[in-house]
Structure 1
């Protein structure tokens, strides 16, 4: 556990520092962040928010495949943990919980919000932020893998920007983002500790993917279809 704390110190620090903010009146952070809207931030946060979706996970899997299977096992187990946690609360315990737009609309305060053109607004199932959970699971995983304190700081900032984007785009409250960060972080920590505590012979093995062969086989298949 000492290794985990050392490698993920910036992540634990963020969790501790921002903990008191979850007790602010609901919507306070949304209004504060959203009121700083500018054309630059509209584009920046719209792009940043996309880093927390499933496509990012797919690219990460391709990267992890280049390393020992132990890291793939940790990666996939952490992914499973964060998916279960998010679905348990979003679709189960807090199913139907209002997101910021509908919350402010019902309070007659929707005019206080500045919406970003082109961003589809969600209305319910706000807790927790799935995008934030995904990016924090990914960034904390790679922080564990990199074993580099500087890289860990860069990764936690990246994760926080994605979380902030969900508030700026009026998709989540701060508490949703905070627990998304926590769930993503804990998913990687638990997965790492479990796999490390139960070593297997295959953990030291690696995938050997012949990309040239894959490309050739794919091209042959395409040619057969075209000529068929």
Structure 2
């Protein structure tokens, strides 16, 4: 499992170490403004749209698309989506309910510089930790790294996941620590699910595992 996803996991480990060092050495406000304070009109529009890559609807779209490749992979995607999304929501709704999002935090601490807020983005106020978008983005792109035949795509998938997480801070929806934790949650749970589900499905093979929409069966990975 680790070998098949190493093009995603190895650079991700380096990224974790780098960002973890920043979070350890600097206050969360400093890390936040390093991202949110560097903006441009182009990136306002880009990240406003691209942040939807971390939305649950994007994961649903990927799951539906996999029905045209192999039912087994669509089932795997559905389970990963359900478990990681549930875990993120349990963290938000039941465990870390009092964590304010940047918009509320800095409105209560007016000594800091004003936030950069992108027009049209609805600002959240509470339940900031962990970032659900980051959880979903890292989960779905790790899953795709596992599924694709050309593992070099893993580098690109990691970049897309990192950009989705970055967008949450850029848009003033989360602190860096929120997306850091969300990425770990999505990656860790997805790895665990793949390590368990893939061998299980192979041991309990069913005819529908090989089916796909349109032509009935698929011959291999895409």
**Is the shorter-chain TM-score for this pair beyond 0.5, marking a shared fold?**
yes
Matches within 5 A, 1:1-228: 1-4=1-4, 6-8=6-8, 9-23=10-24, 24-109=26-111, 111-198=113-200, 199=202, 200-202=204-206, 205-210=209-214
For residue 5 of structure 1, report the CA deviation from its aligned partner: 5.2
Counterpart in 2 of 1:223?
Answer: none
Q: How far 1:21 sits from its partner (Å)?
A: 2.4
Q: Gaps spanning 5+ residues in structure 1: where?
A: 212-228
Q: Tell me the distance in 2 between the aligned counterparts of 1:66 and 1:7.
A: 25
RMSD, aligned α-carbons:
2.0
Paired residues, number: 211
Residue 148 of structure 1 aligns to a residue whose secondary structure is: coil
Q: Which structure has the larger Rg over C-alpha atoms?
A: 1
TM-score (norm 1): 0.84
- The TM-score, its normalising length taken from structure 2, stands at 0.86
- Is the partner of 1:104 in helix, strand or coil? helix
Q: 1:158 Cα shift? A: 0.6
1:175 deviates by 0.5
Structure 1 stretches of 4+ with a deviation exceeding 6 A read none
Q: How far, CA to CA, are the matches of 1:148 and 1:136 in structure 2? A: 18
Cα 1:116–1:109 shift into 2, 3 Å: farther
Equivalent residues of 2:7, 2:152 under 8 A apart: no
Q: Which has the higher helix share?
A: 1
* Distance in 1 of aligned mates of 2:37 and 2:131: 20
SS at 1:205 equivalent: helix
